Amino acid sequence: MNASSIIFIFVSLLAGPILPGLINKTKALFGGRQGPRVLQLYYDIFKLARKTPTYSETASALTRIAPVVIALSSITALTLVPSFFNDSVIHFTGDIILMAYLLGLGRFFMVTAALDRGSAFEGMGASREVLYSALAEPSFFAGLLIMIYETNSLELSEIFSKLSLNFWQENPAILFLILCSWFVILLVENARIPIDDPNTHLELTMIHEVMILDYSAKDLALIEYASALKLWIYSALIVGMLINGEIITNMALQIAIFTLGMAIVAFVIGTIESITARIKLVFIPKFIVGSGALAIIALILKVAGN
Amino acid sequence: MSYLTLKNAVPAPIKEVPTQEYETFKATIKELLEQECRLSSLFAAPIELDKRIFAVMTNDKNSEIYVFATKHNQTFESLTPEIPQAHWFEREIAETHNIKITNHPWLKPIRFQPKLGEKNFPTAGDTDYFKVNGEEIHEVGVGPIHAGVIEPGHFRFQCYGEKVLHLEIELGYQHRGIERVLPQILHQKRIKMIETASGDTTIGHTTAYALNIEGLANAPISTNDALVRSIALELERMANHTGDLGAMAGDIGFMPTSSYCGRIRGDILNTTGMICGNRFGRGLVKPASSGYRIDAELNKKILDKLDLIEADVKSAIDLIWQTPSVNARFDDTGSVSRENAVAIGLVGPAARAAGVAIDIRMTHPFDAFKELEPIVPVGKKGDVGMRAQVRWHELQNSFKLVRDMLAKLNDNEAQSEIDRNICDKLAPDMISVALTEGWRGEICHTTITDSAGKIKIYKIVDPSFHNWFGLALALRDQEISDFPLCNKSFNLSYCGHDL
């Protein structure tokens, strides 16, 4: 644990809500609109944080506890992810698995709290969320397995620092396949188009949004913040996997490249949202499993290559 | 089999309407249905006036309209088991006139209006609902408050997982009692009320009213006046089709189209505004003449504006057909088979998408359509994709129609007179049926006058009245998440149904 890691964690915690702002700005650009400010989510979170929540009559204590658990699990997961090409604050063998299941813990609370209210809508959202994330898990780990195999390490910071540019240059197919499959996971886990539409007001089609319909004020602020961090985590994983920061010695340059990488991820998400329609719900499992197949093919290529 | 044969908006004496025994009445409807006629309206006269139930059937092959009646004596055996098109009408009759309908498969209120002679409104939505039993069946109730805060309606889904086994639509939250008060109020006020029968179909409904009154008062309108209101009717169609195609794109998160269509819809509404000062065409259509005309200068302005709008519409909506992800989403979603469409009497773009080639502008021409025939696009699958395509083709055809109509305007024609007292000149004891093609489909207004030449009965059938059940059928065995998209592809009127 070094000082710069700790600083970068705070930077990440602060900068998280920028990404959705960048995505929305990109979408506005495509739509010929000015769009909301890049910092809009900060305003929203502060506005919500000042308000007193209301609860459904059928809600138990679980509904009240869940937002805190969701936010804390995202924050804790963030401390395990290397950002700005620096080792993560806490790192140890197997930290990647803890990270994945910390996010899983957050999801567990999100889903059970959604069921807690007994609303038909939220129940549907919960069932969709669980199905899709269960399908997304294997492809996430299949991609990870390749990197573990290559670097011989189970520690995320070490994996990222050991992944050299050479490996990707020699195996562009593997890079392409993992990138595609992890990007799909990013879209699934963060409820973006073509899986889910964060802007829709139609409860029947929602996945993530419908589970938080009953949340308001402070609780909603926590959940919105946790969602932004989750997007940050997945984006950071993709940037960290692609670029080996160890070879960049200048810290200022590291920061600049990492920031640019994150912005590009947001821009790509925004572009996808601007030019494609949502997939029919019945096809989403196929889409996710398809991304898993890509990761498995990459894994086979890697194993066969050795 | 006997019936009174009418032409669109040409009145005939009410005493010529044959009153038949129930069995003959039923047989006549069935026989006409077999000849591919449609039940456009089925209504009971208010009991204190006349103890009869009237059927209005349209023949799309020879532009004829058939009217006949039967006595009811406060009970009436349901036609619905054999004639599904009567389903909604019979529920309406039972509720409005307190007539006991026996043997109806699903008799419940559709508008939650007060019982005859009472003043207290029952609570809307408070009724029995269809239930599916089973351990893994779940029920989802949506509304009455709409997520997009448009109009209220309650939708109840019986689902097995994501699959919808049955959707029941319960409306009535917007009931205002228009049909009850229409005969009692003055002409000027009546027009205002008909304009808002379904707010987005102002021209469609007011044209039907104007056609009836003109026929009954024997006051044919000038060519220019007919052209102006037909232009407005097409502009209304264009505005709504554009807005809805954009909204459908919005529902599936397809930004390129949805970002622009709202604005373009506004441009089209503004064009209507240029003619009469109101974007929705309020005040534009009145029997005989409303006084609004399109002179050479305005004609040029509208033509210029149409060019701009057409280019915008093309670039925004063509993207729908060019994007595979959109087509994948639209195709095979919410299909209504041709068989079902005919059986339940679907009208408008929804019927055409299912392969039923009906368009009042073509089959029972009125106003400018007597000379200008529209292209009537007909689909096959009756799914969301087809409904979108049918609407897109109609939209494109409307540009041509409006241009043709603008070219036909004659600047030298004398300005026609506004006749405020036209309703004092109605022929007594007559019946008149006016059909127009609003953007949702067939609008049917039936007017019956009394011996003093006052309107005695005014019956409105909005296309939504036929089509809501079509939406319920479209959802069968579909995924519940497809409901908003299906709903938007029909985009039916709540207040036009509730009246």
- Is residue B221 domain-shared with residue B281, that is, in the same domain? yes
**In this structure, are strands B19-20 and B64-71 parallel, antiparallel, or unpaired?**
parallel
Mean pLDDT of A239-253: 81
Give the closest of A202, A273, A281 to B251, CB-based: A202
Bridge partner residues of B168 (DSSP): B156
Residue among B139, B251, B150, B169 nearest B486 (CA): B251
Number of domains in chain A: 1
In this prediction, residue B237 carries a pLDDT of 94
Q: Which residues from chain A sit within 8 angstroms of residue B140, using beta carbons? A: 120-121, 124, 204
Quote the mean pLDDT of chain B: 90
Task: Please give the C-alpha separations between residue B399 and each of A72, B217, B300, B360, B375, in angstroms, as whole numbers.
Answer: 58, 33, 15, 18, 12
In this prediction, residue B74 carries a pLDDT of 84
The DSSP code for B201 is G
- Is residue B239 domain-shared with residue B268, that is, in the same domain? yes
Cα separation, B299 vs B61, whole angstroms: 35
Mean pLDDT of A157-186: 87
Check whether A1 has a pLDDT greater than 70.
Answer: no
Q: What is the CA radius of gyration of chain B?
A: 22
pLDDT in tens, A104-115: 999 999 999 999
Lowest mean per-residue pLDDT among A239-243, A247-251, B364-368, B435-439: A247-251
A200 in contact with B, Cβ within 8 Å? yes
Asked if A110 contacts A128 with a C-beta cutoff of 8 angstroms, the reply is: no
Structural domain span for residue B156: 137-170
Residue B114 lies in a domain: no
Mean pLDDT of B326-332: 90
- pTM, whole model, 2 decimals? 0.90
- Is residue B12 domain-shared with residue B98, that is, in the same domain? yes
Give the gap in angstroms from C-alpha A124 to the nearest C-alpha of chain B.
8
Structure tokens given for B262? 């709202």
pLDDT band at B73 (very low <50, low <70, confident <90, very high): confident
Cα separation, B384 vs B377, whole angstroms: 15
Residue among B14, B98, B57 nearest B435 (CA): B57
Check whether A254 has a pLDDT greater than 70.
Answer: yes
A287 in contact with B, Cβ within 8 Å? no
Instruction: Quickly list H helices, B218-373.
Output: 223-251, 255-276, 296-322, 324-330, 338-344, 348-353, 360-363
Nearest C-alpha in B relative to A127: B161
Number of domains in chain B: 3
Bridge partner residues of B52 (DSSP): B71
What end-to-end distance do the CA atoms of chain A give, in Å? 34
A37 in contact with B, Cβ within 8 Å? no
Asked if A255 contacts A12 with a C-beta cutoff of 8 angstroms, the reply is: no
pLDDT band at B291 (very low <50, low <70, confident <90, very high): confident
Residue among B254, B294, B496 nearest B403 (CA): B294
Structural domain span for residue A7: 3-305
Of B170, B192, B211, the domain-final residue: B170
Nearest C-alpha in B relative to A281: B481
B479 in contact with A, Cβ within 8 Å? yes
Mean pLDDT of B323-348: 91
Task: Please give the C-alpha separations between residue B487 and each of B42, B247, B335, B470, B494, in angstroms, as whole numbers.
Answer: 26, 11, 12, 10, 12
Helix (H) or strand (E) holding B50: none
What end-to-end distance do the CA atoms of chain B give, in Å? 33
B147 in contact with A, Cβ within 8 Å? yes
Mean pLDDT of A86-100: 87
Share of chain B above pLDDT 70, in %: 99
Residue B415 CB coordination number (10 Å): 11
Instruction: Quickly list H helices, A80-119.
Output: 95-116
Residue B230 lies in a domain: yes
Share of chain A above pLDDT 90, in %: 51
Cα separation, B261 vs B239, whole angstroms: 9
Going by C-beta distance under 8 Å and a sequence separation of 6 or more, which residues neighbour residue A304? none
Q: Do A204 and B139 touch (CB under 8 A)?
A: no
- Is residue B383 domain-shared with residue B479, that is, in the same domain? yes
CA dihedral of residues B422, B426, B432, B434 (deg, nearest 10) = 0
- Is residue B155 domain-shared with residue B296, that is, in the same domain? no
In this prediction, residue A244 carries a pLDDT of 76
Cα separation, A74 vs A190, whole angstroms: 12
Q: Sign (positive/negative) of CA torsion A34, A38, A44, A50?
A: negative
Give the gap in angstroms from C-alpha A128 to the nearest C-alpha of chain B.
9
In this prediction, residue B108 carries a pLDDT of 87
Residue B128 lies in a domain: no
Residue B222 lies in a domain: yes
In this prediction, residue A88 carries a pLDDT of 80
The DSSP code for B179 is H
Of B151, B170, B189, the domain-final residue: B170
Cα separation, A284 vs A218, whole angstroms: 32
- Is residue B84 domain-shared with residue B226, that is, in the same domain? no
Mean pLDDT of B366-389: 91
Asked if B275 contacts B232 with a C-beta cutoff of 8 angstroms, the reply is: yes
CATH code, domain carrying B490 = 1.10.645.10
ipTM comes to 0.86
Q: Do B252 and A120 touch (CB under 8 A)?
A: no
**In this structure, are strands B154-160 and B137-142 parallel, antiparallel, or unpaired?**
antiparallel
The one-letter amino acid code at B25 reads F
Check whether A53 has a pLDDT greater than 80.
Answer: yes
Residue B270 lies in a domain: yes
Residue B257 lies in a domain: yes
- Is residue B94 domain-shared with residue B153, that is, in the same domain? no
Residue B55 lies in a domain: yes
Q: How many Cα atoms occupy the beta-carbon half-sphere of B215 within 13 Å?
A: 27
pLDDT in tens, A123-155: 889 999 999 999 999 989 999 999 888 888 898
pLDDT band at A94 (very low <50, low <70, confident <90, very high): confident
Check whether B436 has a pLDDT greater than 60.
Answer: yes
